[in-house]
Amino acid sequence: MTDERLLERASRGDEAAFLTLYEQYRDVVFRFAYRLLGSQELAEDVAHECFLSLLKQPRRFDPARASLKTYLLAATRNLAMKHFRGVRGLDALEDLAEEPSVPERRGPLHQLLDEELSEEVRRAIDGLPPLQREALLLFEYEELALSEIATVVGADVGTVKARLHRARQRLKRQLAPYFKSNAEEAVVDEVLK
């Protein structure tokens, strides 16, 4: 059964149809919200609001324009943006004035700790301006095509490409100390000391 049909049935009170849809998309919605907002509590609120808006206005989803996944990601993105506007102000969306400093170089042996590396990656991505961050998250973690990302964020493909490029350049500079090749050199340096 198509998502459109499931949604139609769900909006008429078919709980099983709703649960089928919800179970299919809850993880992608929650995961994207979490990575955008950096908080499980906020992500849960945004995911809840996202599905609630779908229930209240199911006809806003137009399968001719986008898949339900793309529609839900766009709704999640818009809800998260409301949060950013409230917290950081509109000017912060495209660019941050200062690039976050390169994380302090820790000893190479510490780099072997997965949790620490995970935290550095999270911190670096979290430091991106929101419009770059959302493009990167949708491309790298949700595996959307550029055209789908453009639909979600309401920009053209060229703009999305530019945001992705800027995000990746910034992350390459910031995370270079953790690249495997650099880490191996650092281990050698440490052993030779």
Partner 1 sequence: MSDKKDTPPLSIYSSRDELNDERGGLRLDSPADQELRNLFQRWNAPLTPASLDSRIITTYRQQILSQENRQE
Residue 86 found at the interface with partner 1 (CB under 8 A): no
Applying CB under 8 A, what is the total number of residues that bind partner 1?
Answer: 46
CB of 130 to partner 1, least distance (A): 17
State the nearest-atom distance from the C-beta of 92 to partner 1, in Å.
22
**Are 42 and 29 spatial neighbours (Cβ–Cβ below 8 Å)?**
no
Please identify, using beta-carbon distances, which residue of 91 and 119 lies nearer to partner 1: 119
83 lies in the binding site for partner 1 (CB under 8 A): no
Residue 156: phi and psi, rounded to 5, are: -85, 165
Say what angle helices 157-175 and 146-153 make with each other, to 10 degrees. 100
Other beta carbons within 10 angstroms of residue 167's beta carbon come to 23
The answer to the question of residue 112 lying near partner 1 (CB under 8 A) is no
CA-atom Rg of the chain in angstroms: 20
Tell me the closest approach of the beta carbon of residue 178 to partner 1, in angstroms.
6
In the complex, minimum distance from the CB of residue 169 to partner 1, in angstroms, rounded to a whole number: 10
Q: How far is the CB of 187 from partner 1 (least distance, A)?
A: 16
* Vertex 22 angle, CA 17 and 28, to 5°: 150
Decide if 133 contacts 167 (C-beta within 8 A): yes
- Check binding of 155 to partner 1 (CB under 8 A): no
Whichever of 19 and 85 has its CB closer to partner 1, that residue is: 19
Check residue 26 for interaction with partner 1 (CB under 8 A).
yes
Burial class (CB in 10 A: 0-12, 13-18, 19+), 57: exposed
* 121 lines the binding site for partner 1 (CB under 8 A): yes
Comparison of 130 and 148: residue with beta carbon closer to partner 1: 148
71-128-140-58 Cα dihedral, nearest 10 degrees: -10
Where do the H-state alpha helices sit in 12-145?
15-37, 40-56, 68-88, 114-126, 130-136
Residue ranges in contact with partner 1 by CB under 8 A? 10, 13, 15, 18-19, 22, 26-27, 30-31, 34-35, 40, 44, 47-48, 51-52, 55-56, 114, 117-118, 121-122, 125, 139-143, 145-147, 157, 161, 164, 168, 171-172, 175-176, 178-181
